Structure 1
């Protein structure tokens, strides 16, 4: 992998002492898969188990001084008073340095004159349709025959703000949105840009109804149908051929298996198995939900 930043540059940017010979490939929070020499951060002893469960250990880590002796000796430790601030300040510095290539727009695409397309960082493939007032920000890939309906916004930065000792720090989104072939994004939807460690992805022929919010790093497989006003939170992982009903909410990092169904207004806070149907707030298997409704109704009669 290409070296992203050295210890010498980290020292200059953050004003702390870091060994000059450190070479970092990527910045990744704990809990996400990675390869190479990764810099992460640790704020509490309760997250050490998450660190040790990782398929690979970080190369280096920002942490509180009292945690230095509690992590494996193979990890380079950088003791600081606020690991969150130091990690995301460096993350933002690198994100803002990132360069985008010039936008490519296929001559076979149909873009309405009132649509706003970034001049950099966008790839628009053959057969794409972008309707009036849609906005395509940098870091967006539109596969063949993608349709972006009127007023949709693709690739905007999302809701990622960190409370730190120096105040709230907003995190720059440095990843991508990938809409694979045949995806349709309905009117006034928002599809949020991912981070360098996890893109936002809509699989082939997935269809979003109007006013769906698809958050950063959320990913779904092929041929999903997501109805109006649904909210898919950050890093949710949705399989293929999934139905998500109107005004349903899927919490962050939840996994939903292939062919699952999430019914009208359900609030999903736990993983959903393939072919399972869930209902309610909080969502439970659909038949269990119906039994509960019947029991409540009988109790009132």
Structure 2
């Protein structure tokens, strides 16, 4: 291969080269993307429009929905465009941007899930002090802190790629610029990059996960001390949706890592990535809405307002 610099292009091989599957794949990805954006957008609108949902739990949920919209938007639109135009090229600058925003929003998902676990910990383990501890000022500070930390935390991994040299027109067996795949195809030594990536992963991945596990260990301990079965069910139901989302997010992301390490197959790793980059953000609104009566009521109000609005627009146009 010819040795190149950072001005070259990458070739995203995507899912398949079979022309018979391209149209089906395009429709499937587009449907998943629209459902994800619409579902999370409805959650945000429901929380904003309903005063009953102006609580810490739903405040963080709306931030999670916003992060999920951005998370899927970093990968799926480019994949859709590549399929539609039959072009698999992405520039070096575009690839770096995709890596940065993907890491930023993945980190934001991680930190928000941690903050939400702390919120449930306070609600169940310290219910009498919940209003005082989870004040609006603290909630806003934690949300801003998670976004600020994500913005800074995603920088080292992306910036250290600028020091690398690549062979021209590298073929990446993925549908987006996945950092581990990019590092496999560099012509430079990646020791510094690997140190940076693993250090950031420990600080912004392992530590938050440890916080989540600690919070839930305290939550389960408190629930077990409740004497009545009804009280136990009520306490567990307040964190059931969040626990399911946490399990889905970490289970799929860890599954991607373990599958790639065990099989050393980029193709299997790519297919597993679909679960946490597309499926998980798409399912989150359903998990929270189906298990939460307040969200159902708020969504019903939002949809009821949207239907007359659409009818009035159609009447005006006609």
Same fold (TM over 0.5): no
- Higher share in helix: 2
Higher relative strand content:
1
Q: TM-score, normalized by length of structure 2?
A: 0.23
> Which has the higher relative contact order, 1 or 2, with Cα contacts under 8 A spaced 6 or more apart?
2
